Amino acid sequence: MGSFIKKNKKEIVIDKENIPEHIAIIMDGNGRWAKKRNLPRTMGHKAGVEAIRKILKEADRLGVKYLTLYAFSTENWKRPKEEVSALMKLLVEYLKNEIRELNENGVVIRISGDITKLPKDAQEEIKKSVSLTKNNKGLVLNLAFNYGGRDEILRAVRSIAEEYKNNELELEEITEERFSNYLYTKNMPDPDLIIRPSGEQRISNFLLWQCAYSEFWYSDICWPDFNEEHLHKAIYDFQHRNRRYGGI
């Protein structure tokens, strides 16, 4: 069975048997969305949370198994203190307001990033949400918060170096598969599809190791305006690409 949407007044069909197992999204454009409307940037971030609700539900309905959302990068600390503070509060509010429904729907909350740098209330809310949902069997919602791809790789290298130094690891044991086990995304498949709205076409330090063979989908739509139809379009385009993984 397929899922139908309209494209230029024509129906296109999503192959429900070929849904990306893991979709990652760089949620970009909240500030630009607000600026166009003469609103504070914080209002753009609040509108972005509404987009998360819609996309999470639709991804789950379509059968996506893993959804990674790039919510706050290691570089975002450079933003004005007021905006950073607002983002932290939004994270806490989102988890408090949504965790009951997410848990009832079987969603598993995971976090990629160094949460020790976050305010205490944010750390506590994250730990509660992760603990409450850890045994669920549904979609895995992986929130990349205080996350940076280079930082993640450096952490993995340091852990491996420490084990080697302590004679707990041999050089020949350091394989790609072993290395992946030191990353935040341990036991998760690499993303099949990475979506970036807002018109930018760069990776921005996101899943640098994991994106080696991901398909990328870009759009000029700011994240708060990203909806179910845009998700369908991204998946439709994904399904019509030839993924050769270096082969012919």
Q: Does residue 76 carry a catalytic annotation?
A: yes
In residues, how long is the chain? 248
Instruction: Give 152's Cβ-side CA count (13 Å radius).
Output: 26
Q: Which of 28, 60, 190, 192 is catalytic?
A: 28
Chain-centre distance of CA 218, in angstroms? 15
Q: Which of 8, 76, 135, 146 is catalytic?
A: 76
Q: Does residue 30 carry a catalytic annotation?
A: no
List residues with catalytic annotation.
28, 76
